[in-house]
Amino acid sequence: MAAVLFCKRNDFYTQTFVLIALQLIISHFMAFLPQIIVVLPELLQTENSSFVNQTTWINSTFATFNTFAIFGILHFSFLLTLNRFVAFILPKYNTFFESARLYFLIALVWLSALAITICDIYYCTRKFLAWNMTWEGDCAKLSEGDIWWRIRYLWLLFIPNAMFAMYVAIFYSIRRKQRSAAEINQNQKNKKKHGTRHETNAVKTYDYERSMLIQAAWNCGVMEIGGIIFHFLPPFLVQIFGETVNIPSNIFINCYVILSCTTLPTVYFIYNKAARNILKEYFDHLLHMRTASSKNKTVAINVRTHTK
């Protein structure tokens, strides 16, 4: 996705989109770090280790860092959706996403994720437990910890719902503009001359609407389901199958978290033909460079052989 955004032919991407998408890429990359630095080393420990149920400072630090990455993803996804909403619904406020104001918004989003992380550190203790494959969060050390946990969870669910509501508003805005354009076109004298072109534009607009809503539904749905699964799936399964289902359910949750980080780029490439073409060109270029390098090495070897 980064290769597509920074290609030389990215005229169809605005600077605002590129900068916000870059923050999303960074946030997704940070979300993978705890899986690599904490989960894998903990799983590789022997079962007889006396520290299997304890946490090191690395475990605790990156377990908390995971909160920063997750809310970074959520907040920048919301900012990107807000940018699209303003562009389609409130274009006069689009100046907030230009020049220095955009950098201020990006800094504000990073600070908001940091503020939530600091509150999380103050009210909760987090660690990864390898014996049952779970990220444990204990918010009972302070009386206000339970309140903070509820606020955090409600905010986690609110963002995807707000994003989807904005995408629905964008959809209806595009549909309304399309109908207005159709009515104006019907009143023009040169209707026959431009009728075919209008029908073609209508088809393109419909395809764009459908693609946009499908992408929004996938992205927001994965975020929403992730929050629900993380909090309600383990206790629900324990009530049905007992404690033995703890480890399988936690493995499923960890896999879901990892796969959810790939949702945005995956959906983006599935529904964006231009992005697929750019990526294909990159691979073709790399393959061509590799083939040319191999040929040059072969020629050099042959020259040396004949010289000898």
Q: What is the CATH number of the domain that holds 14?
A: 1.20.1070.10
Q: Is 227 a domain residue?
A: yes
Considering only residues 182 and 102, tell me which one the structure prediction assigns the higher pLDDT.
102
Say which amino acid occupies 91.
Answer: P
- Residue 55: give the domain boundaries: 2-279
DSSP H or E stretch at residue 137: strand 134-138
Whether 304 is in a domain gets the answer no
Give the integer Cα–Cα distance in Å for 233 and 294. Answer: 53
Structure confidence by residue, pLDDT tens digits, 96-110: 888 788 999 999 999
Q: What is the dihedral of CA 268, 272, 276, 281, to 10 degrees?
A: -120
When divided into structural domains, the chain yields a total of 1
Name the amino acid, one letter, at 172.
Y
The distance from CA 294 to its chain's CA centroid, rounded to whole angstroms, is 38
* Predicted confidence (pLDDT) per residue in 21-65, tens digit: 889 888 888 888 887 777 777 666 645 454 544 446 677 777 788
230 occurs within a structural domain: yes
The verdict on residue 6 lying in a domain is: yes
The reply to whether 107 falls in a domain is: yes
The answer to whether residue 201 sits within a structural domain is yes
Q: Is residue 286 assigned to a domain?
A: no
Cβ-in-10-Å burial (0-12, 13-18, 19+) of 286 comes to exposed
Asked, for residue 305, whether it belongs to a domain, the answer is: no
Q: Each residue of 198-254: pLDDT tens digit?
A: 545 554 555 555 666 677 777 777 877 877 787 778 788 888 888 778 778 878 887
